[in-house]
Amino acid sequence: MSANVTAAAATAGPTYAQIFGPVFWGFCVALMLCGVSALQGYLYFTRYNDKIGVRFVAAMMLTLDFLSMALICQSMYYYMLPHFGSFAPLDAVTKELVVECLISAVITFTSQMYFVYQLHMVKSPGTTAAVMNASVFVLGMIGLAGAIGCVWVMFLYPHSIFMHRNHTFAILAGIAKGFGAGADIVATIAMCMFLKSANTGITRTSSLLKSLMHLVINRGLLVTAAQILLLITFFATSGHLYWLAVHINTTKLYVNTFFGMLNARTSLQDKYATGHMSLSAETSASANSRRRSTAVNTALTNGDRKAGDLDAQDYALSAIRVPTASMVSEI
């Protein structure tokens, strides 16, 4: 008899805990990341007075993040509490989760397109910059189209998402995540190329550029890794919900890296600013940028290395902080 029980257990499918356990822990991580988003948003709106367009995008990202978290909470309640121990709720995807997927697509696309905006405002010369900028836009648009297609399939065939995955849904999900990761990779490479080309050879300015490049690379690596991990778990573990745990956190990573780069301006100012130029002084920075550039050239021409170093540092902060620190006030 014991042998029969062992054989039956070996042939049985995954348990309730094995199915919902990863989703539960992913939900816990998402709650923490949402709290970090709230803190990041509070720090941004209390410290900076950027242009209205920048503040609007920041407010939209934060609002969508909170709405996404509320929809995830409702879905978690539905799947885990009313029918605890039963797999019956997995027969269909909830409307709340469908809407959350749409919000996730909007947040991802917005973050990627803001990188396109930054690259465009940099106005880097040459065909390469224009091609890379257009590539990010095209890849982002294809990723968004794939994500919208996923949402449409989830709406039409809610019973073919978890238990018996719709083939069209799987293809569209692969397109959305694959092209989304591609857009993040190209955007990161393009921004790093600009930072490298902007190097003046002055020690403190080079250090500033290196710090900015680290921010961009870290952001790119984080969101790209999340997209790739989502792809792997989606196709390699189709019998489990590991991919859902990654999905609900990917949106939070985009929002957190968005605000993280915005708020990084304070630490960069404290580390590199000389005290007579504020990173948030939008009007004065715009008016003085060309004067500072002239002063740098004059100082270097006359051999005043120290003065040139200080002015070049401030000029770098005013000239490149927008494209590299995610939407700073001058643009």
Mean pLDDT of 36-53: 89
85-89, 191-195, 240-244, 291-295: the lowest-pLDDT one: 291-295
Residue 117 has a pLDDT of 76
Mean pLDDT throughout 22-26? 89
| Residue 311, pLDDT above cutoff 50 | no
Query: How far apart are alpha carbons 176 and 12 in whole angstroms?
Result: 33
Helices 16-47 & 52-80 angle (0-180, nearest 10):
160
Indicate the range of 10-24, 38-52, 99-113, 288-302 predicted with least confidence.
288-302
Structure tokens at 177: 């995540």
Spatial distance between the Cα atoms of 314 and 327, rounded to a whole number of angstroms:
18
Of 188 and 210, the one with more pLDDT: 188
pLDDT at residue 64 is higher than 90: yes
CA distances from 159 to 24, 92, 133, 153, 256 (A): 22, 4, 39, 10, 33
> Which residues form the domain of 74?
16-276
What is the predicted pLDDT for the residue at 109?
93
- The whole-number pLDDT of residue 208 equals 66
Residue 197 has pLDDT above 80, yes or no: no
* 250 within a domain of the structure (yes/no): yes
Asked if residue 295 is part of any domain, the answer here is no
Residue 151 is predicted with a pLDDT of: 93
User: Is 306 among the domain residues?
Assistant: no
Name the domain count of the chain: 1
Does residue 30 surpass a pLDDT of 90? Answer: yes
Q: Tell me what percent of the residues of the chain surpass a pLDDT of 70.
A: 69
Q: What percent of the chain has pLDDT over 90?
A: 27
Q: Which range (163-177, 199-213, 235-249, 295-309) has the least confidence?
A: 295-309
Contacts of 165 (CB under 8 A, 6+ apart): 238
pTM of the full structure? 0.73
Question: Which residues neighbour 290 within 8 Å (Cβ) at sequence distance 6 or greater?
Answer: none
The pLDDT of residue 262 is above 60: yes
Does a structural domain hold residue 284?
no
Confidence category of residue 116, pLDDT binned at 50, 70, 90: confident
- On average, the pLDDT of the chain sits at 75
Of residues 276 and 64, the one with the higher pLDDT is: 64
Neighbours of 25 (CB within 10 A): 11
pLDDT at 209: 65
Q: Tell me, what's the pLDDT at 261?
A: 79
- The answer to whether residue 32 is domain-embedded is yes
Given pLDDT bands bounded at 50, 70 and 90, which one contains residue 85?
confident
Question: At which residue do the structure tokens 């469908």 appear?
Answer: 98
Question: For position 103, which CATH number holds?
Answer: 1.20.1070
Mean pLDDT of 44-70: 90
Kindly tell me if the per-residue pLDDT of 299 is higher than 80: no
- CA distances, 203 to each of 31, 126, 306, 312, 324 (Å): 42, 26, 11, 10, 19
Query: Which tokens in the block code for residue 322?
Result: 């927008």
Residue 104: per-residue pLDDT: 93
pLDDT at residue 277 tops 60: no
Residue 205's pLDDT is what?
A: 61
pLDDT at residue 289 in the model: 46
What was the pLDDT predicted at 324? 38
pLDDT value for 60: 94
305 in any annotated domain: no
Query: Does a structural domain hold residue 329?
Result: no
Q: Is residue 121 part of a domain?
A: yes
